[in-house]
Amino acid sequence: MNFRRWADGALIGVTDTSPAFTARYGAPYNVVHRAHLHAALHQQAEALGVRLRLNSKVDAYDVENAAITLADGTVFSGDLVVAADGVKSLARALVAPNGQGAPQPTGFAVYRATVDVEKMRACPELSWILDEHNLNLWIGEDRHVMTYSIAGGRSFNMVLSHRDKGDPAQFRHEEDILGDMRREFDGWDPQLTHIISLVTKALKTPLTSGTAPLPTWLAPSSKLVLLGDAAHAMLPYMSQGAAMAVEDGAALAVALSKLTRPALAGIESASASASASEFESVSSPASSHHTHQQLRFALHLFQQERIRRTSMMQEASLVNSMIWHFADGLLQRARDEAMKGEVQVTTATAAAAAAPAGQKGAAAPTTPWTSPNQWSDPVTQNWAYGYDAEKAMEEAWERGASVREVLVGQW
């Protein structure tokens, strides 16, 4: 991942996503088209027997009865509503009334666009960017441009972030947006502005972020829980918003797997093999109370772990809105100087790899132990990518053992 100077594209920072990264974190750094991620999750959910109903707007939540009412009047009820209804969440108001912890305008907006790769290939001075199979990020005063290929290299994605305190309702029409976008990056690296000139359609989106963690993700009844952007909207400057939503899902599954009785309606109906006596015991008032206590406890542990993790990611994303956007001057020079070590290591490693066998690795400097580039800084990087959401939830469960005994009794 290459960090480039706004004016001329000079390399000022490098986050190494080579096989060493994959070995360190057990997975490669991949970028994926949103629609393809949805398709993969959809496919997997169906394979696991989950029944899905699409194109169904939720008009109302009933947090006392774990029920939802759809726009067509259909009501569904169960034991728990998991509300992942995004940054404009309807459910959030039921959890945190008075707008507490709701996402706030950040003063930034993005243009989003994809570029026809054939058009880029037709320009010899641009084709290297496709061949490199990398992320390239141009950073400058108050603005940056993130670029990478998606869809197996068939499309080139651009996110162009800039200052905009305007009212999103007043954002201009599509044709105006293209002109505004070009003007915003006028005078930047000619290669970048050349790519921008190839864009024929762009969307403009305001960026909001939670500025303090939501105090809770749970309705007082513990029958509705938020996750994803509904709970922790953040600037996309660590590229971790969707990643956090996926982690939430994995952690919630671990927490719910600890329930010793089939507490959820979905589990009941799916457990065709469960004996009738098990269900009877669930529906008796005493055991249903016990089951609800278990659910409440599991959800509290879940939110404790996840609020900590996601609010730190919100903060890290806000920090990048400062570090990446320095105007040319003292702070910018200090940042670039401190990131220089990353570039030297990468350049030296590439040179060593290209050198005749006997000379390999001769004078390669070692990776710097710290960097203002949060994506490369070893401590921040390990925190961001070395975190295992399922393991962390298991550990939280172990730590909660003694409290569990007191609050819920025999599990």
Q: Which residues bind ligand FAD (CB under 6 A)?
A: 57-58, 84-87, 90, 110, 112, 159, 205, 228-230, 236, 239-243, 245
* Tokens standing for residue 367: 């990776």
Closest to ligand FAD by CB, 235 vs 345, is: 235
Residue 385 Cβ vs ligand FAD, minimum distance, rounded to whole Å: 12
Provide CB contacts within 8 A for 68, sequence distance 6+.
58, 60, 61, 62, 75, 76, 77, 81
* Tokens standing for residue 80: 């728990």
Closest to ligand FAD by CB, 15 vs 239, is: 239
Closest to ligand FAD by CB, 140 vs 236, is: 236
Query: How far from 397 is each of 300, 346, 357, 394, CA to CA, in Å?
Result: 11, 41, 51, 5
Closest to ligand FAD by CB, 3 vs 297, is: 3
Provide CB contacts within 8 A for 296, sequence distance 6+.
222
Residue 348 Cβ vs ligand FAD, minimum distance, rounded to whole Å: 29
Residue 248 Cβ vs ligand FAD, minimum distance, rounded to whole Å: 8
Residue 76 Cβ vs ligand FAD, minimum distance, rounded to whole Å: 12
Closest to ligand FAD by CB, 157 vs 332, is: 157
Residue 90 Cβ vs ligand FAD, minimum distance, rounded to whole Å: 5
- The answer to whether 217 and 82 are in contact (CB under 8 A) is no
Closest to ligand FAD by CB, 42 vs 121, is: 42
Give the nearest residue (CB) to ligand FAD.
228
In the block, which residue shows the tokens 């990020």? 137
Nearest to 271 by CA among 38, 30, 49, 36: 49
Closest to ligand FAD by CB, 163 vs 340, is: 163
Measure the CA angle with vertex 307, ends 164 and 61; round to 5°.
Answer: 80
CA–CA distance, 78 with 389 (Å, rounded to integer): 26
CA–CA distance, 218 with 227 (Å, rounded to integer): 10
- The answer to whether 130 and 153 are in contact (CB under 8 A) is yes
Residue 315 Cβ vs ligand FAD, minimum distance, rounded to whole Å: 15
Closest to ligand FAD by CB, 89 vs 332, is: 89
- The answer to whether 80 and 66 are in contact (CB under 8 A) is yes
Closest to ligand FAD by CB, 72 vs 175, is: 72
Residue 345 Cβ vs ligand FAD, minimum distance, rounded to whole Å: 25
**How does DSSP assign 306-355, residue by residue?**
HHHHHHHHHHHHHHHHHHTTPPTTHHHHHHHHHHHHHHHHHHHHHHHHHS
- Residue 405 corresponds to which amino acid? E
Residue 84 Cβ vs ligand FAD, minimum distance, rounded to whole Å: 5
Provide CB contacts within 8 A for 187, sequence distance 6+.
7, 193
**Continuous segment of H or E residues that includes residue 99:** none
Residue 230 Cβ vs ligand FAD, minimum distance, rounded to whole Å: 6
CA–CA distance, 125 with 209 (Å, rounded to integer): 37
Closest to ligand FAD by CB, 249 vs 266, is: 249
Residue 368 Cβ vs ligand FAD, minimum distance, rounded to whole Å: 25
Query: How far from 8 is each of 92, 146, 193, 305, CA to CA, in Å?
Result: 44, 15, 11, 43
